């Protein structure tokens, strides 16, 4: 059994990790830390876990975490980078679900996250945990930067186009829509039910922290910088991201659908829908699947891709477990092949 | 492996059965019938099942169903009773998720469902599939009447009070609230999003079909007829039932909470919450759990019970699988111990 | 023109008052105070008011408020009672939408609200602003206690039964359901969209502050203390209260519907639905109407009443404007006869 | 008083027209027709109108409609064009809220709507009822084609850019999001609450009927054909459209915000938000306002515009009343200056 610890287990990413790990046949949950809830039973905060988890939140403590085989960070940005060096030193593997190890360029990191990076050498070592791009590196990694939710949906949607150099990558447009759980469980007026339900709005138009991350991923695939306009929108629902991606073809293409189907045919968690189908976010609610469709409206030169994920699963906790499975040599689908909850 | 068939697999109860059965380690899905969708791939109707179910809907056909070890009916009322005699004859076991075998008195059946019963002898044999009341009989049964959703939530909430003869059972009041999925997947104006969201209403005040069913269950527990006012309400959400139950104590009681805790201490799917906690329907979303709290406001003579279930799981498909597990001698929790999806 | 001031204009009750008052032909908005938002444009906080309100929030200031003809308090409990004496002294009339002047008994007030009352003599003078009960007194009043949202829905539903002494008033049961806006606009985890949508729960079962208020109203109507069990529930929606009320008949009654129709036939804001209809909260969304139905299921001895209001209108700001209209001798429907927004 | 008739008053556009017209001081409602509901009281179908509308639905009848000063069509596409010639002949003015008179080119009409046009000469005469473009023509018109909901939101957002020839109009991208009420009140599985809530999806990617309409409007403004990719999305809410519009600047611009502010400074129903603000659909719920923001992320060459309307008001019934006001020489804001319902 893999002994797992979770740092910061009280947010939505934390409880989702718990939901997946308690049902994972090869994992034993050892430690869940929370500064604010230390001493409380996990199930008193999350009644859905009553009967499944019987441990208490504890104070974050390097010694008990260092005894774990793997430590997940579901903490605010800037927390993991202070604790990771000691944990790696002690032999634990680390999967960070925050942004601390996602941006390779420390100047860009500081620009968007407003702090110096605490351990640039480990940042360099960290593997960006998107199995569809980096499977082999993940298997060897000690430290994983688990991708952001928007970057997961957007990148998986663009990769086949960019790998095949099919579109003008100087003017990519990603119009993304996310459920409110992406904003976390902190008390705030903006995410009250009365403020966020029955309404839709764009946000972060001038610049969202996932923009440099997506640019880094797509730039890596392209082999050069790409130009991207990324506009996230808040949806009146709990879970789910839909990203509609636009690009102008540089070259004629016979069969876009075939290119997508081929690219992802061996991927257990990317599902290219039949021609003409459009994915709904509810088709992946609670599941680790990404479903994708590609269109060329009226046969013109503009490609439209729709990509959906559950932001808390494929966009966070599920992808983290996928990475853990790869790091520990397990069947990569273990514990994350739940059917989406529909309706 | 248990070979399972589903008749009427296109409604919400059907897709929920599929979600549970595809993940059940001892079940192999053999047949799913649907008159309207015959020939279609199941996953084309329910994209959440892509990659999990690769069979097609077929025409309802006694011969192929008769080869199953167990047949689930997720059909409109009145369908199962016409097919069950042949299936039992052929040696299959049957679990009916509709109402055909729930009401023991054929006159009452006809009064509420508007049709004569097609097989009164089998009706007599049928076991009401509420494991918390009838576990041993279920283990021996060939034919199970799977309880209605409201009757499950209401009965489990009242049973400890009535078994112990604590309240005036001539004036029980059950105020129940259900998500819209209880109304099924048929096209209708009343359950359109624009009609049902952001609104609450009572319905069926003059008489709902679950009223005689609840009276039968509670009357059986009491050993005499009970008086019940049952008012269901439509909630602006997909899943979940909350039933608030009222009764006037006939006798003084020291510790109501203890009575509930004791009654259900060995039940895997009834969770009595700690004193003072109130259950939320989301704490059971997608799970087979019923969570219950009991109160005595201001120490008066009125008892208030709140009982929550997921109407599609504990109130339908999950309870059906629970019954199947009992009928086939499996660990009764097999395949139905999912953690609720929260948030 | 009536010069109106609002103290505490940043909550949902405040913005709803603004929505109604800017469209009221006899009212001129003079002052809106908010300690936290002083100096900000009202329309920067509430973009729906852009083009309708062009004044700024100001610091609460007795002098400028004292120049108003009427001052509305949309403040937390305990604020109004400290300022009202001076305002009355200065000749302003006051309508308090908080609870400060609702509970006549100061001991009961202290028990439920946890503070001593600051001006018991004015409390005695205050008129409970339910026009259907106290229309003439309201016309003469200087200070109005605007009723709570639940007390409005529950009282209007019970009044015809209790005035006519038809039911056993020692065991009344009110099962009420409210949208989340009743909890206000403060940042809190419990009312986040991700916590409150797609779920239903009871709350305050052991005792809610509206319980003594309802008991006071119904006790006043009955002429003696009544016994009431009141269980509020949180609904996954913004606006609306549905109260389902239960009572056991003491005497036989020919035509309950006629009793209701007669009682409210001259009331502009109580609508008794045709026999057999059930009210939906959406039928009053944004309107000042209360819609009511009465049932006697299966002709038994139990009466069931369903009463719906918009908690922010009839349950708060609309009823306040209704009171203002009466106090200033206007047509009482002025400015509050909007059609509900449906769908 | 203007005598108004409504043909097809049972859909969401019809009930919204009723909500606005019953409160319009210069309008008297004469006739509401509905083939399916003839003889029924309007208020029995729409309980929010109880006390406001006391007429019954009648069979569609040219004679009684011809006595109206203005007739609104809230019918399925293809109905109005068969009745309009007789009504104009009789001297009534007509406002068609369906698509019958929107597309000037009859071949394009047939391609997208699948039928021949019944009265091409009247089609030629019809004025596209977007006051911000065609105010003077509307004042003189006998027959108005009331714009579609998406075309309203998208066109108002693009007009300042295209009028000033600022962007490459060969590759416009409009990513639009609409509440479910846009799909109407017909019974259908796809718009059931259980299918449409808690989910987001694109639809009509290969071609939506509003595409040729938007192209016609923007092409008219540009003076030449424009290239547009238009992808609508279904939102889990009742009302509201948000359109995020993308374009690449052809020329450098000093102050985009100023261009928008200037363009719409005299428009009563277009509100350009302060720099940096993003519009929410709830800020226009129930109101006739369109709110717009314009951005140039990171100072690059891509412009992003967000435009929100209530699809049933500015996108349908409100714009229709606006057109009526103009046609009859009234103050154009009469009856449509309601404050949006927030929260």
The alpha carbon dihedral of D32, D33, D37, D38 has a sign of positive
From CA C183, how far away is CA D68, in angstroms rounded?
A: 48
What Cα–Cα distance (Å) separates residue D102 from each residue in B185, D221, D226? 36, 16, 18
Give the pLDDT mean for A185-196. Answer: 96
Tell me the catalytic residues of A.
149
**What's chain A's average pLDDT?**
97
Per-residue pLDDT 10s for chain D (343 aa) are: 999 999 998 999 999 999 999 999 999 999 999 999 999 999 999 999 999 999 999 999 999 999 999 999 999 999 999 999 999 999 999 999 999 999 999 999 999 999 999 999 999 999 999 999 999 999 999 999 999 999 999 999 999 999 999 999 999 999 999 999 999 999 999 999 999 999 999 999 999 999 999 999 999 999 999 999 999 999 999 999 999 999 999 998 989 999 999 999 999 999 999 999 999 999 999 999 999 999 999 999 999 999 999 999 999 999 999 999 999 999 999 999 999 999 9
Q: Distance from CA of residue D248 to its chain's centroid?
A: 27
From CA B105, how far away is CA B110, in angstroms rounded?
A: 9
Option in B46, B47, B339 nearest A52 (CB)? B339
Structural domains of chain B, with CATH: 2-125 (3.40.50.720), 150-311 (3.30.360.10)
Give A199's contacts in chain C (Cβ within 8 Å): none
Count the neighbouring beta carbons within 10 Å of the beta carbon of residue D242. 28
Give A281's contacts in chain C (Cβ within 8 Å): none
Helix, strand or coil, per DSSP, at residue A138: helix
Q: How many residues does chain D have?
A: 343
CB distance A193–C12 less than 8 Å?
no
**Residue A113, min C-alpha distance to chain D (Å):** 16
Q: What residues in chain C have per-residue pLDDT under 50? A: none
User: For residue A237, what is the nearest residue in chain D, using CA coordinates?
Assistant: D198
Question: In angstroms, what is the C-alpha Rg of chain D?
Answer: 20
For residue C179, what are the contacts with CB-CB under 8 A and spacing of at least 6? A194, B198, C235, C237, C238, C239, C240, C241, C281, C311
pLDDT of residue D9: 83
User: For residue C181, what is the nearest residue in chain A, using CA coordinates?
Assistant: A194
Strands (E), chain B: 2-7, 27-33, 70-73, 93-96, 127-128, 143-145, 172-178, 201-202, 228-234, 241-248, 270-272, 290-295, 302-309
From CA D94, how far away is CA D315, in angstroms rounded?
A: 17
Q: Distance from CA of residue D26 to its chain's centroid?
A: 22
User: For residue A196, what is the nearest residue in chain D, using CA coordinates?
Assistant: D282
**Residue A287, min C-alpha distance to chain B (Å):** 9
CB distance A180–C198 less than 8 Å?
no
Phi-psi region of D332 (alpha: psi -120 to 50; beta: other; left: phi over 0): alpha
Contact A7, A80 (CB under 8 A): yes
Give the pLDDT mean for A200-209. Answer: 97
- Using a 10 angstrom Cβ sphere, with 0-12 exposed, 13-18 middle and 19 or more buried, the burial of residue A214 is buried
Confidence class for position B9, pLDDT limits 50, 70, 90:
confident
DSSP one-letter code for D56: B
In A38-67, the residues whose Cβ lies within 8 Å of chain B are 46-52
Size of the A and C interface in Cβ pairs below 8 Å: 60
From CA D189, how far away is CA D174, in angstroms rounded?
A: 27
Give the pLDDT mean for A4-28. Answer: 96
**Residue C179, min C-alpha distance to chain A (Å):** 9
Give the pLDDT mean for A98-122. Answer: 97
DSSP string, C177-204: EE-GGGG-SS--GGGBHHHHTT--EE--
Question: Catalytic residue at C149?
Answer: yes
Q: Distance from CA of residue A234 to its chain's centroid?
A: 17
pLDDT in tens, B39-80: 999 999 999 999 999 999 999 999 999 999 999 999 999 999
First-to-last alpha carbon distance for chain C, in angstroms, is 34
Give the pLDDT mean for A123-127. Answer: 98
Q: Which of B129, B112, B66 is nearest to B93 (CA)?
A: B66
Q: Which of A311, A210, A294, A195 is nearest to A253 (CA)?
A: A294
For residue C254, what are the contacts with CB-CB under 8 A and spacing of at least 6? none
Flag whether the pTM goes above 0.95.
Answer: yes
Size of the C and D interface in Cβ pairs below 8 Å: 90
From CA C215, how far away is CA C243, in angstroms rounded?
A: 15
User: For residue B185, what is the nearest residue in chain A, using CA coordinates?
Assistant: A343
CB distance A194–C197 less than 8 Å?
no
Per-residue pLDDT for B210 more than 90?
A: yes
> pLDDT over 70 for what percent of chain B?
100
Buried b (16+ CB within 10 A) or exposed e, C147-185: bbbbbbbbbbbbbbbbeeebbebebbbbbbbbbbbbbeb
Sheet holding D27-33, edge to edge: D27-33, D2-7, D70-73, D93-96, D143-145, D127-128
Give D175's contacts in chain A (Cβ within 8 Å): 175, 244, 246
From CA B117, how far away is CA B114, in angstroms rounded?
A: 9
From CA A68, how far away is CA A90, in angstroms rounded?
A: 9
Chains touching chain B, criterion 3+ CB pairs below 8 Å: A, C, D
Give B18's contacts in chain A (Cβ within 8 Å): 339
pLDDT of residue B164: 97
DSSP one-letter code for B183: G
CB distance D48–C284 less than 8 Å?
yes
The alpha carbon dihedral of D207, D210, D214, D217 has a sign of positive
CB distance B198–C279 less than 8 Å?
no
For residue D291, what are the contacts with CB-CB under 8 A and spacing of at least 6? C47, C50, D270, D271, D272, D273, D279, D283, D284, D307, D308
Q: At what angle do helices D149-163 and D256-263 cross, to 10 degrees?
A: 120
Q: Distance from CA of residue A241 to its chain's centroid?
A: 11
Q: Which residues pair with B271 in a beta bridge?
A: B291
Count the neighbouring beta carbons within 10 Å of the beta carbon of residue B124. 10
Count the neighbouring beta carbons within 10 Å of the beta carbon of residue C229. 24
Buried b (16+ CB within 10 A) or exposed e, B11-29: bbbbbbbbbbbbebeebeb
pLDDT of residue D310: 98
In A11-30, the residues whose Cβ lies within 8 Å of chain D are none
Question: In angstroms, what is the C-alpha Rg of chain A?
Answer: 20
User: For residue A189, what is the nearest residue in chain C, using CA coordinates?
Assistant: C187
Strands (E), C15-131: 27-33, 70-73, 93-96, 127-128
CB distance B271–A50 less than 8 Å?
yes
Q: How many residues does chain C have?
A: 343
Q: Which of B154, B188, B314 is nearest to B239 (CA)?
A: B314
């Amino acid at each position: 059994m893999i002994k797992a610890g979770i740092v910061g287990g009280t947010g939505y990413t934390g409880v989702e990790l718990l939901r997946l790990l308690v049902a994972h046949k090869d994992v034993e949950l050892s430690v869940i830390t929370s500064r604010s809830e230390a001493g409380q039973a996990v199930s008193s905060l999350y009644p859905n876990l009553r009967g499944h988890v019987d441990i208490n939140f504890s104070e974050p403590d390097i010694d008990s975490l260092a005894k774990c085989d793997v430590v997940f960070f579901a903490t605010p940005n800037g927390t993991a980078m202070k604790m990771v060096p000691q944990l790696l030193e002690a032999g634990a593997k680390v999967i960070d679900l925050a942004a601390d190890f996602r941006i390779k360029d420390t100047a860009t990191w500081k620009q968007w996250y407003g702090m110096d990076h605490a351990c640039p050498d480990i940042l360099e070592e960290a593997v960006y945990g998107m199995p569809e791009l980096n499977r082999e590196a993940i298997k060897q990694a000690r430290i994983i930067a688990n991708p952001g939710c928007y970057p997961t949906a957007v990148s998986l949607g663009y990769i086949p186009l960019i790998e095949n150099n099919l579109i003008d990558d100087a003017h990519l447009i990603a119009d993304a829509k996310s459920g409110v759980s992406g904003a976390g469980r902190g008390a705030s007026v903006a995410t009250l039910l009365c403020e966020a339900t029955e309404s839709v709005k764009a946000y972060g138009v001038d610049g969202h922290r996932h923009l440099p991350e997506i640019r880094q991923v797509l730039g890596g695939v392209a082999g050069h910088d790409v130009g991207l306009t990324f506009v996230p929108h808040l949806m009146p629902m709990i879970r789910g991201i839909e990203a509609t991606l636009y690009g102008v073809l540089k070259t004629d293409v016979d069969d876009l659908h075939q290119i997508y189907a081929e690219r992802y045919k061996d991927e257990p968690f990317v599902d290219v829908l039949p021609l003409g189908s459009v994915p709904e976010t509810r088709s992946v609610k609670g599941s680790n699947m990404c479903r994708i469709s590609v269109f060329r409206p009226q046969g013109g030169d503009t490609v439209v891709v729709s990509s959906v994920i559950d932001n808390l699963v494929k966009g966070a906790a599920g992808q983290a477990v996928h990475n853990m499975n790869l790091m520990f040599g397990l069947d990569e689908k273990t514990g994350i092949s739940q059917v989406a909850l529909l309706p």
